[in-house]
Structure 1
Amino acid sequence: MIVRTLEEARNSERRVVAPNGNWESVRLSLKDDGMGFSFHITTIHAGTETHIWYQNHLETVYCISGEGEIHTLADGKTYPIRPGTVYMLDKHDEHYLRANRGVDMVMACAFNPPLSGKEVHDENGVYPVDNN
């Protein structure tokens, strides 16, 4: 059994901050935990917009707190995000994730395949795939 707290993970190398400062992700479960997915608590900072296109991963996201929106590029649709909303990027959907001004959005995220730990978005909004 693996047991860890959000606080201990936040105070370790499991906390990853975006180079542009738009978000931070505390990676509670990673590839080396052997669960077949990774699980993160990610904070999207208020008033930011992040381009994301997970070409190598599927992701499910649940909004715990804060408000914002997700705008999908393929169809131009915009969906409001607020506590209790879940969205699933089942088609590797390229999108913009925006947090409203004034309050951060806190999200619970699961990735398949699992992340290894230090991934950040590249210039296309993609996380690299770990083939090890």
Structure 2
Amino acid sequence: MKNKGFSLVEIIIGISLIGIISVFTFSIISFSLNGFSAVREKNTMIHIGEMVIEKLKINDPYIIEIIEDVEEYGQSYYLEEDFDRDKYSVLITKKYSSEGHIEVIVKVILLNQGKDIYVEFKAAISKQERI
């Protein structure tokens, strides 16, 4: 008499192969989703950095105070409510200063992460525009 079904060994091997393929597939999907999340965070940080640089170029009393702190102490934190301060921090550091302008580094830092994730921008701000 001929057996028309699968043996137990064949079924176990088939299920094992499906399991191995599933593990690899799910790990690739998980890795991709984490990559997308990191890209989204970097894009948000870039947006915040560009926004801060543009704000540093205007004559607002708070901005003038920040620039004075940067010139006097070498650095200052940007504390406006323009972004989620529980998630991001913005540090403005003086790189170079002359009579005509000040060069700063704007560093946007992602907080509450195990590793240092940040983006840096360099900008030159004219002092004549502030008068």
Per the shorter chain, which TM-score range? under 0.3
Identify, as 1 or 2, the structure richer in strand. 1
Larger Rg, first or second structure (1 or 2)? 2
Identify, as 1 or 2, the structure richer in helix. 2
Return the structure number with greater relative CO, CA threshold 8 A, min gap 6: 1
TM-score (norm: length of structure 2)? 0.24
